[in-house]
Chains A and B, each alone.
Chain A
Amino acid sequence: MKAPLSQRLDLLARNLSPFAFSVVLLILGATPLPVPHLAAIGPGFAMAAVFYWAVHRPTLLPAPAVFVIGVLSDFLGGAPIGVGAVTLLLVHGVAVAQRRLLLETPFVVLWWGYSMVAAGATAVTWLLSSWLADAMIDPRPALFSFLLDLGVFPAVAYVFARAQRSMLRRG
């Protein structure tokens, strides 16, 4: 009975790896680096991860996992609780719904799709945060963080594509 167990463990590890990767990215994003404005990237890492897996393997990062990542990002970031979870779930939902348009397309198209989704997500986060803070939050930093999100997407997508190829080949 040893082989099936190891296989099952192997499968479990493969299924968990997108979630684990996303959490690691989130924590890495929270590490203070002396690079100007890098602090704003953390939440963007999580969004890029959720989008990537929603398009490529929605079953490996299902909605409950997205929810957990979102809540964790809210806790870690000190944001009003729930905002990250709502936003990431919406990103997940939209990306899963549109995945046929984005699968097997050149990377630029995927990036373009991400820019649309990220723009919507940034707008939602801005609205929710402003509502919860009972004030209009200056939209300029939000715009800036959106541009940063676009900037980090290729890097995150590359890492995940490598991971998907090497670890999930048999999946």
Chain B
Amino acid sequence: MKQRAGLPSRLGPSLKALIQRFAFLLLVAAAVGLMVLGKADTAVVERARVVVTDALTPILTLLSRPAAGLARVIEEARMLAAIHSENARLREEQARLLQWQAVARRLEAENRALRDLANLAPTPGQRFITARVVGDLGGAFVRSVLVAAGVREGVRKGHAVVTAEGLAGRVFEVGQRSARIILLTDINSRIPVVIERTRDRAVLAGNNSDRPQLLYLSVEAAPVPGDRVVTSGHGGVFVPGLPVGVVTAVTDGVVEVQPLVNWDRMEYVRVIDYELPGILLSADPDRDAKATP
């Protein structure tokens, strides 16, 4: 084995070991220092993180394509096996959905008429940005994904992120071409919601498990398993009425919610740009400046 550069071979083995041990301790201290810095000053760490993820996103985008292709092949094979029963089920579902469509059209017209009648302030506009999920490296301690869309595409911090099924999370950090989405199961996720049936407000708090919980629910509220939970729109961060999940269990005041999103199959997500000044906009001075001419 050749000697490593920087450690002259004439140093005694014990001295070399000592230097190595010292370097090791120094590195551990540096790592602990980073941890403390990250806890104290999140802005610096966030900037560094955004730079690194921005740089890695093209690689991840490239890698995510064959992965998605593989996923499609597996999915196709599975679908082929069940094509007959699936077809029957879909016909039935289509018939049912057509009825719903008729109901929805009627309600929409009625809603518009009533809004006109009551002279209600118009709901703020919204815009969608579709982004591919390119990184999913969270695990037990963090629930987040990386998407290949950033400031260039119009993604901003705080935007809601949805899939076809429902709310997935919100934008947490944005780079030029990448953004990190904190999923609603993450321990740092807090989302204002209402129980659709009773209109009871609560905050959906993630806890890193697959079942986030409802906090600050009023004592009179009596959610039952099966109740749908939707965003309330409070705080102006999220569009009101986005489907979030279904109450699965109520035990000793702990209300568990099963999110609607299928976490294992998030290939694309939609970022909703909700044009309402929200509480998280302070993190985005550009837009604040634009919003107040």
B52 at the A interface (CB under 8 A) = yes
How many chain A residues touch B (CB < 8 A): the figure is 61
Q: Mark A78-108, 1 if CB is under 8 A from B, else 0.
A: 1111110110011011000000000000000
**Residues of chain A with a CB closer than 8 A to B229's CB:** none
**Residues of chain B with a CB closer than 8 A to A37's CB:** 264
Q: Mark B56-87, 1 if CB is under 8 A from A, else 0.
A: 10011001100100110011000000000000
A119 at the B interface (CB under 8 A) = no
B31 at the A interface (CB under 8 A) = yes
Interface residues of A in 103-151 (CB under 8 A from B): 122, 125-126, 128-129, 132-133, 135, 137-138, 140-142, 144-145
Tell me whether A63 and B70 are in contact in the complex, defined as CB-CB below 8 angstroms, given that A77-B142, A128-B35 are known contacts: no
Tell me, rounded to whole Å, the shortest Cβ–Cβ distance linking A18 to chain B.
14
Main secondary structure of the interface of B (DSSP, over half): helix
Q: Is the CB of B141 within 8 A of A142?
A: yes
Which of B102-110, B129-137, B232-240, B271-279 is the interface stretch?
B129-137
Complex Cα spacing A92 to B144, Å: 27
Q: Is the CB of B137 within 8 A of A89?
A: no
Q: Mark B197-214, 1 if CB is under 8 A from A, else 0.
A: 000000000011100000
**Residues of chain B with a CB closer than 8 A to A126's CB:** 140-141
Q: 12 new A-B pairs (CB below 8 Å) besides A38-B264, A67-B27? A: A30-B136, A34-B71, A34-B74, A39-B138, A40-B140, A64-B23, A73-B137, A76-B52, A81-B45, A81-B48, A93-B24, A137-B140
List 25 interface pairs A-B (beta carbons < 8 Å), by A numbering: A11-B2, A26-B137, A27-B60, A34-B267, A35-B264, A37-B264, A39-B136, A39-B139, A40-B138, A40-B139, A40-B140, A71-B34, A78-B137, A80-B35, A82-B35, A82-B36, A83-B35, A85-B31, A86-B31, A89-B28, A93-B24, A132-B35, A133-B187, A137-B141, A142-B140
